[in-house]
């Protein structure tokens, strides 16, 4: 997670491909990928300019901490594209379809604090044109997904109010029951929520992330820590973690309601605009949320309640909705598109089937601390099997080869 707002207005599309180290052509004319070396204190980019269209950055982590790479807008704030969770010694690709303009590149070793190696990057050439007929299909997909996002946030508002009411009143059993259910709507649209700068840190930052950035620890996970005090004390044995009193509970709960309402207001404002790139990359972003070192797969997201499988399932549901929104466009892209759709239909089915061996929303998922490492490895393998074709979705929807 990061605190910069992502661009929702530029006509760009991007994708991060998982676990690839080979060079990828960055245009149909055959230009090579731009190499990036992320170190402890630097971010060396092999080129400072490129032609408009599809541009691929091959980011290699030459440091000793997990890192991420950004392509920033000219204001150095809005994120045009990012690739996260690059482990030391590995490479990942970031592909953007960029219009002409001035941008900046930057790395963030450790994935917290200020970025390093901020450098100018220029894109020259003609505007990237979109076929008129295809534009109609894209507009329809964006309208559909935008409506879905608004609906999810609308449901979230009411669910959070019920959860907070139970927590503030001291009905801990009810609050524990509602905690994983309440988060479902948020987890389904998490990349969209992360567009709004400081809101996501207030709503969903974990304790280590908030402390690393010097932020107040609030939101879902602060309440989670108070509801599962025994687990909190076990996870942080050197700290004196005391239960919150009624006044503190009231304040914490009211803050979460206020922040969720602010999210609702932003999503329902006239300024809220999604692009096709937000949808296709939001899909892969949701799976990144699962696989991240502080995510659901390693069991770090819900470290006190161990309700990670609810979030995991919701992230995959959100990715499926994003994919379905553009499925017809992808399928229309010749043999490659048809094959991609076939692969994604199969892999989504397999992912849901595997998750459902651990439970469901109605009957409840098993506590994630009871899921043994071999079972977690199985979940991780299926997640990778799904992520690989999903990372090709942006290329396919925009009709650009990634080979």
What pLDDT digit, counting tens, does each position of 321-342 carry? 999 888 888 888 889 889 999 9
Q: How many CB atoms lie within 10 A of CB 377?
A: 11
Give the Cα separation of 44 and 37 in Å (integer). Answer: 5
| pLDDT at res. 340 | 93
Higher pLDDT, 35 or 334: 35
| pLDDT at res. 264 | 93
pTM, two decimal places: 0.73
Give the Cα separation of 105 and 119 in Å (integer). Answer: 5
Give the Cα separation of 269 and 1 in Å (integer). Answer: 23
Higher pLDDT, 326 or 173: 173
| Mean pLDDT computed over 166-172 | 98
Give the Cα separation of 240 and 232 in Å (integer). Answer: 10
Q: Which of 10-19, 239-248, 326-335, 364-373 has the lowest mean pLDDT?
A: 10-19
Token representation of residue 246: 């009624």
pLDDT of 18 over the 90 cut: no
pLDDT of 4 over the 90 cut: no
Q: Return mean pLDDT, the chain.
A: 86
| pLDDT at res. 48 | 96
pLDDT of 312 over the 60 cut: yes
Task: For residue 303, report the phi and psi dihedrals to the nearest 5 degrees.
Answer: -70, -15
Q: Which of 81-95, 213-227, 261-275, 309-323 has the lowest mean pLDDT?
A: 81-95
| Mean pLDDT computed over 79-86 | 76
The band of 78, judged by pLDDT with boundaries at 50, 70 and 90, is low
Report strand pairing: 49-51 vs 116-124: parallel
pLDDT of 316 over the 60 cut: yes
pLDDT of 247 over the 70 cut: yes
| Mean pLDDT computed over 222-250 | 97
Q: Residue for token digits 């229309």?
A: 332
Report strand pairing: 43-45 vs 34-38: antiparallel
Give the Cα separation of 225 and 280 in Å (integer). Answer: 34
| pLDDT at res. 124 | 94
| pLDDT at res. 131 | 66
The band of 77, judged by pLDDT with boundaries at 50, 70 and 90, is low
pLDDT of 23 over the 70 cut: no
| Mean pLDDT computed over 93-118 | 84
Query: Which strands, in side-by-side order, build the sheet including 53-61?
Result: 13-17, 91-98, 53-61, 34-38, 43-45
Higher pLDDT, 32 or 266: 266
The band of 5, judged by pLDDT with boundaries at 50, 70 and 90, is very low
The band of 29, judged by pLDDT with boundaries at 50, 70 and 90, is very low
Report pLDDT digits (tens) over 116-126: 999 999 999 98
Token representation of residue 398: 């925009």
- For the ranges 23-27, 269-273, 291-295, the maximum mean pLDDT occurs at 269-273
């Amino acid at each position: 997670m990061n605190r910069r707002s992502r661009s929702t207005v530029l006509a760009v599309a991007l994708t991060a491909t998982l676990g690839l180290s080979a060079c990828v052509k960055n245009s149909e004319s055959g230009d090579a990928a731009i190499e990036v070396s992320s170190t402890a204190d630097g971010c060396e980019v092999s080129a400072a300019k490129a032609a408009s269209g599809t541009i691929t950055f091959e980011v290699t982590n030459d440091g000793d901490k997990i890192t991420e790479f950004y392509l920033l807008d000219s204001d150095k704030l809005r994120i045009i594209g990012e690739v996260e969770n690059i482990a030391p010694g590995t490479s990942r690709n970031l592909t953007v379809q960029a219009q002409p303009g001035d941008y900046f590149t930057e790395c963030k070793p450790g994935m917290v604090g200020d970025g390093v190696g901020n450098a100018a990057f220029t894109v020259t050439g003609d505007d990237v044109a979109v076929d008129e007929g295809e534009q109609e299909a894209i507009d329809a997909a964006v309208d559909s997904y935008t409506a879905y996002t608004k609906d999810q946030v609308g449901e979230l508002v009411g669910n959070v109010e019920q959860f907070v009411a139970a927590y503030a009143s001291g009905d801990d059993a009810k609050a524990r029951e509602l905690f994983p259910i309440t988060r479902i709507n948020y987890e389904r649209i998490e990349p969209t929520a992360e567009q709004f700068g400081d809101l996501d840190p207030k709503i969903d930052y974990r304790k280590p992330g908030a402390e690393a950035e010097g932020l107040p620890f609030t939101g879902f996970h602060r309440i989670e820590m108070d509801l599962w005090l025994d687990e909190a004390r076990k996870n942080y044995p050197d700290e004196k973690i005391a239960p919150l009193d009624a006044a503190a509970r009231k304040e914490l709960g009211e803050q979460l309601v206020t922040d969720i309402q602010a999210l609702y207001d932003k999503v329902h404002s006239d300024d809220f605009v999604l692009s096709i790139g937000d949808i296709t990359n939001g899909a892969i972003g949701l799976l990144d949320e699962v696989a991240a070192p502080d995510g659901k797969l390693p069991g770090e997201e819900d470290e006190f309640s161990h309700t990670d499988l609810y979030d995991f399932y919701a992230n995959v549901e959100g990715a499926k909705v994003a994919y379905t929104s553009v499925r017809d466009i992808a399928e229309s892209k010749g043999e490659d598109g048809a094959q991609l759709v076939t692969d994604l239909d199969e892999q989504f089915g397999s992912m849901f089937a595997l998750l459902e061996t651990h439970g469901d929303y109605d009957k409840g998922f098993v506590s994630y601390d009871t899921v043994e490492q071999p079972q977690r490895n199985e979940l991780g393998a299926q997640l990778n099997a799904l992520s690989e074709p999903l990372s090709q979705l942006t290329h396919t929807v925009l009709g650009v080869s990634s080979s």
